[in-house]
Every structure is written in structure tokens, then in C-alpha cells.
């Protein structure tokens, strides 16, 4: 049997890395188990001529398509939005667009302000120091002073506007609508050992330059230097409990596939909004027959995705295509509730600079705007390098029927039951998406775009996995308390997107990591009576 550790963290992604780094100063024995391995930037797609083709294979965003040994399958047949993620040291920060908004203060008070869903048990101001600390460590770029966003202080200047930015900015100005350079985790200057962005363009499936922040190159090197142990290719099957109902450790499969037991005094789950409920439900026992930490019955419930309403078109002017990070601007014009729009809450917008030639050809052929035959070449030259995009990130409200359960048939390579997703897009979200598409069309047409196409929802757009182990003060209506501790199991904590009460209308990683740092801080303040 392995020697017991003080703290066992499951998952080395966005939140697991942050909590490990923060707790390292306690000098406790901290171990992190990660089902994936360390990434090798020399093998990232942008290092090869086949960089775009890899997006359809081993670098696909869907684990079901990718099918690496480190991935687990997900039955998302009963969902119009498919789960996308990445499993490695760094987790999905290895494969994301680096767009870096944070939740707004109003997002924590949706019940009070709009009478829907629930308020969070914490507020924005509580998280501010952790947002700031996280931005410093992840290394953000942006322009302070956005009038419609929370105040941030990015340590690096914003990305250049390039060719696409001014086209969008002019159109938004003509319409009188808000836009602003996005905060991103793309380094625009050399920063803390990371080289500055050189516009490889293909940012989402990992950055060979190391300019895009991912926790394998930010938090983890620091955490490991501070004494945290990170054990890779270790897939946790279940969390075990003792006679007192406390977590006693985990059963996992090591890199050789050998079953191991790792005892621990504290267990922290950081497996995202699908992996976390999967693990808790797989940890059912005689004492916890409905899954661990699930006396509320809410483990796996209230899954929120952020349905993406995407619209794009083609302008006469050249755009940045694949020669820049894909996102550079956002808009919060429609972020806050305006009931005259026909829905409650709102959406953020991220503008897209363009696409590479293979992606352009494949998608346009599928959309029916790129013909076969003699006219193919003329049309392709009209499309390629001329795309502008508008993607609305629509706030998904929590609904219990949107859920993660265990699939009765599908299993991963270790025989562990796979997660099953049952999800529908609500009427409120649909109205929001329609509104966004109409506004997007106005923007694109004002910019002079034609051949306008729609992806709504983006089918493989389930990046943001939220709400399936929500936080709250009422044990009957939440899974963890206001500082991330399970109501049922006093030495079990959750720090990933599962704890979100509502989703906001922005990419969540910044907020996920701020919460992880906040939970770690709460733990450090309460070490003497952590289990009371």
C-alpha cells in the first residue's frame, strides 16, 4: 500500500494545478493523480505541415473522436452539445482558446436581480484577490478599463488588432455597440519564462511557442518546485470512505494498469463538471448508496454548457485567417438582463478572426457554399482568408434534468463506467441564441460580409462543464458549502466548474481558477479545524 498523504488532489488541470500551488506553502505532503501525462510541445500540431489535419484526429476536441489512452469515453448522444475536453497535465488549458473574461458581480446574484436560479453563497468581491493572483500566474494580456466588464489589470498589453479587429470595431462603432480587446492568456511579451506570441494562429490545440498559458507551464512547475508530487497516467476509479464517513483515500489504476490504493487525510476533486460527478457517482458504497457527497441528490444535476450561437461571413477585405490567435475582441453589449429582448440574463460575444485553409475548405464544403467541380477554385479564393466570426456564449440556467449520470454499458479502458449526458437547450437559451444570431448578422452585414453561415448551437461546443456539484449553504440544495467542502464528507473538497451555481455568459476558466485559489485559501485559514 502507498504511504498516506495529507492532501490528495484528483486532476492536474486548471483548478487542480491552482489548488496544488496554493496549498504547497503549507508544507503538507500533497499528491496529485492525473490520468493523462506531460505534454511535449515539440509534438504540438503547429510544428507540422499537417497542423490542420490533426484537428480531425488525435487533436480533436472531442475525447470520443480523439480516443487517446488518456481519454475516457462520454455518451453524449442525448445532447445537442457534445462534451469537449483534454486530459493531460494542464487539462483543458492545453486545448482552449485562451479567451479570459471573468464572471461579473451580477452573475453571483441572479436570484436577487432577476428572480431566476439561485444566488451564489459567495460574491464577486470575495474572489477579486484570487482573480488578480491567478491573472498574474497564468499571465494575461489585455487592456484595462473596459466600461462593461469587471476591472482587470493584465500584466501584458493586448494582442494586436490585426486585420480582422478593425473590421469588427468599425462595424460595432457604426451600430453604437460595445466592443473591447479581450483579456487573454496569450503572452504578448516575454513573461515569466514564457516566450511571446509569434502568431502561430492555431492556438486552440496547444501552443508550441508556449505563449498560450496552460497550467503545465505555469502553476505546475512552481508547485512541483515547492514540493507537490504529481503522479501521471493514474486514473482514479473511486474515493473510499471509512467507518466515520470520512474520505480515506482513492483506488486508482497506475501507469501499468495495476490497481492501487492511495490513503489520504484530505481529498480534493478537480476533474471538471463531467469527471467530478462521474467519480462521485462511481464512489457509491453501502454508506453512500447514491454516490458520494450526494445526500442532496444533486450530484450530476444542473449541468450547464453555455450554448454557443455562432454566425460568420466573408468580407472583401483580407482577414487574419490562421495568422493570429483566433479571438481578440469581445462584446458585453447584451450581457445583462433586458426583458424586452424576450429572455432573462444574457450573453457575451467573442469575435473570431478567421480560419486556416483546410478548415475553411472542409467547413464550407459541408455548409454547401464551396462547390465541387470547376467553380471550386474561384469560390475558395473568395472565402479563404476573408472570414469574420461572431460567437455568443449564452448563459445556461441550471435545470435538474440536464445531468451527468453513469452509463449502464459504456466503460473506459479500465472498465470504469463512463459518464452519460442528458441535456436539452432551454426555451430561454433558445431565445437568447436567436437574439444573438440576429445581432451577429447585423454586425457582419455592417462589416460588408456575405455568404453568412450559422452554427447554433456549435455541436462540438461543450467546453464549459459547470454546475454538477453546486455550492451553497443549504445541504439539501447543494453539494458543497460556500468554501468548497462537501456537506456530507468533511474532508472532501471540490474546486472545479462543478461548483458553479449559475454559469454567467463568459468562458469560465478564469473564475474556476479563482474559486480553486479561494477554496485553498479557506482551507489554509481553517487547518486547525478543517473538519469541524
Partner 1 sequence: MPDQLPLTPRQRQDLRTVAAMIIPASEEYRVPGADDDAIQVDMLATLGRDAKLVGEALDHLARLAGMPLADLDPAARDGVIKEFRETGGAAAATLVRVVLQCYYRDERVLRSLGLEARAPFPKGHVLQDGDWSLLDPVKARARTMRQVS
- Subset of 364-393 contacting partner 1 (CB under 8 A): 365-366, 372-374, 376-377, 381, 384-385
Rule CB under 8 A: say whether 208 interacts with partner 1: yes
Closest to 107 measured CA to CA, from 521, 531, 401, 503: 503
> DSSP labels for 326-372?
SEEEEE-TT-S--GGGSSSS-EEEEEE----HHHHHHHHHHHT-S-S
Of 128 and 416, which has the nearer Cβ to partner 1? 128
> How many residues belong to the site for partner 1 (CB under 8 A)?
71
Q: Which stretch binds partner 1 (CB under 8 A): 240-248, 276-284, 318-326, 417-425?
A: 318-326
Applying the rule CB under 8 A, the residues between 51 and 80 that interact with partner 1 are: 51-53, 56-58
Residues 84-123 that bind partner 1 (CB under 8 A): 104-106, 108-109, 113, 123
Residue 37 contacts partner 1 per CB under 8 A = no
**DSSP label at 61?**
S
Quote the least distance from Cβ 375 to partner 1, whole Å.
10
Question: How many Å apart are CA 276 and CA 269, to the nearest integer?
Answer: 7
User: Which CB sits closer to partner 1, 165 or 307?
Assistant: 165
Stretch that binds partner 1, among 222-230, 292-300, 316-324, 497-505 (CB under 8 A): 316-324
Decide if residue 446 touches partner 1 (CB under 8 A).
Answer: no
Name the residue among 138, 144, 281, 150 with its Cα closest to residue 213.
138
If one counts every other C-beta atom within 10 angstroms of the C-beta of residue 277, the result is 32
Kindly tell me which of 104 and 485 has the beta carbon lying closer to partner 1.
104
In the complex, minimum distance from the CB of residue 63 to partner 1, in angstroms, rounded to a whole number: 14
Cβ pair 308, 395 in contact under 8 A: no
DSSP string, 121-134: SS-HHHHHHHHHHH
Q: Tell me how crowded residue 509 is: count the other CB atoms within 10 A of its CB.
A: 29
Q: Are 322 and 329 in contact (CB under 8 A)?
A: no
What is the pattern of x (binds partner 1, CB under 8 A) and - over residues 328-367?
Answer: ----x--xxx-------------------xx--xx--xx-
Residues sharing a CB contact under 8 Å with residue 516, sequence separation 6 or more, in sequence order: 14, 15, 16, 18, 19, 22, 270, 495, 496
49 binds partner 1, rule: CB under 8 A: yes
Whole-angstrom distance, CA of residue 148 vs CA of residue 109: 17
223 lies in the site for partner 1, by CB under 8 A = no
Site membership for partner 1, residue 482 (CB under 8 A): no
Crossing angle of the two packed helices 509-525 and 14-23, in degrees rounded to 10: 30
| Length of the chain (residues) | 532
160 in contact with partner 1 (CB under 8 A) = yes
Closest approach, Cβ 53 to partner 1, in A, equals 4
**Is the Cβ of residue 324 or residue 499 nearer to partner 1 in the bound state?**
324
Q: Name the one range near partner 1 by CB under 8 A: 171-179, 245-253, 286-294, 302-310.
A: 171-179
Amino acid at each position: 500500500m502507498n504511504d498516506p498523504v495529507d492532501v490528495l488532489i484528483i486532476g492536474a488541470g486548471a483548478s487542480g494545478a491552482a489548488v496544488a500551488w496554493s496549498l504547497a506553502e503549507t508544507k503538507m505532503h500533497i499528491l496529485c493523480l492525473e490520468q493523462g501525462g506531460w505534454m511535449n510541445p515539440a509534438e504540438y500540431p503547429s510544428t507540422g505541415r499537417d497542423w490542420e489535419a490533426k484537428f480531425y484526429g488525435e487533436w480533436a476536441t472531442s475525447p470520443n473522436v480523439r480516443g487517446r489512452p488518456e481519454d475516457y469515453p462520454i455518451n453524449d448522444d442525448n445532447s445537442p452539445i457534445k462534451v469537449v475536453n483534454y486530459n493531460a497535465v494542464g487539462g483543458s488549458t492545453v486545448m482552449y482558446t485562451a479567451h479570459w473574461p471573468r464572471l461579473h458581480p451580477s452573475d453571483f446574484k441572479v436570484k436577487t436581480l432577476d428572480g431566476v436560479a439561485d444566488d451564489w453563497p459567495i460574491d464577486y468581491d470575495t474572489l477579486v484577490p484570487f482573480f488578480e493572483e491567478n491573472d498574474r500566474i497564468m499571465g494575461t494580456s489585455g487592456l484595462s478599463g473596459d466600461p462593461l466588464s469587471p476591472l482587470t489589470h493584465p500584466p501584458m498589453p493586448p494582442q494586436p488588432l490585426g486585420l480582422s479587429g478593425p473590421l469588427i470595431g468599425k462595424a460595432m462603432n457604426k451600430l453604437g455597440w460595445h466592443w473591447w480587446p479581450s483579456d487573454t492568456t496569450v503572452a504578448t511579451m516575454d513573461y515569466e519564462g514564457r516566450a511571446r506570441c509569434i502568431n502561430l494562429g492555431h492556438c486552440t490545440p496547444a501552443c508550441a511557442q508556449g505563449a498560450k498559458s496552460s497550467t503545465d507551464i505555469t502553476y505546475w512547475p512552481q508547485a512541483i518546485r515547492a514540493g507537490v508530487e504529481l503522479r501521471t497516467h493514474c486514473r482514479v476509479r473511486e474515493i473510499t470512505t471509512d467507518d466515520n464517513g470520512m474520505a480515506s483515500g482513492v483506488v486508482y489504476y497506475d501507469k501499468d494498469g495495476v490497481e492501487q490504493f492511495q490513503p489520504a487525510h484530505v481529498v480534493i476533486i478537480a476533474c471538471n463538471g463531467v469527471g467530478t460527478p462521474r467519480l462521485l457517482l462511481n464512489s457509491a458504497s453501502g454508506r453512500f448508496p447514491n454516490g458520494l457527497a450526494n445526500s442532496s441528490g444533486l450530484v450530476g444535476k444542473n449541468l450547464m454548457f453555455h450554448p454557443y450561437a455562432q454566425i460568420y461571413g466573408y468580407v472583401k477585405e483580407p482577414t487574419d485567417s490562421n495568422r493570429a490567435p483566433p479571438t481578440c475582441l469581445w462584446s458585453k453589449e447584451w450581457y445583462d438582463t433586458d426583458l424586452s429582448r424576450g429572455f432573462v440574463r444574457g450573453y457575451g460575444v467573442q469575435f473570431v478572426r478567421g480560419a486556416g485553409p483546410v478548415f475553411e475548405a472542409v467547413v464550407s464544403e459541408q455548409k454547401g457554399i464551396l462547390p465541387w467541380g470547376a467553380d471550386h477554385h474561384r469560390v475558395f479564393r473568395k472565402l479563404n482568408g476573408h472570414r469574420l466570426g461572431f460567437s455568443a456564449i449564452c448563459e445556461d440556467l441550471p435545470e435538474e434534468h440536464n445531468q451527468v449520470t453513469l452509463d449502464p454499458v459504456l466503460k473506459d479502458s479500465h472498465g470504469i463506467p463512463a459518464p452519460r449526458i442528458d441535456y436539452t437547450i432551454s426555451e430561454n437559451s433558445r431565445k437568447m441564441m436567436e437574439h444573438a444570431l440576429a445581432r451577429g448578422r447585423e454586425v457582419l452585414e455592417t462589416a460588408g460580409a456575405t455568404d453568412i453561415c450559422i452554427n447554433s448551437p456549435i455541436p462540438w461546443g461543450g467546453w464549459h462543464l459547470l454546475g454538477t456539484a453546486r455550492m451553497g449553504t443549504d445541504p439539501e440544495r447543494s453539494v458543497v458549502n460556500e468554501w468548497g467542502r462537501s456537506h456530507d464528507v468533511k474532508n472532501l473538497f471540490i474546486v472545479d466548474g462543478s461548483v458553479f451555481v449559475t454559469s454567467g455568459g463568459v468562458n469560465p476558466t478564469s473564475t474556476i481558477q479563482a474559486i480553486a485559489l479561494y477554496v485553498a485559501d479557506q482551507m489554509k485559514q481553517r487547518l486547525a479545524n478543517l473538519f469541524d
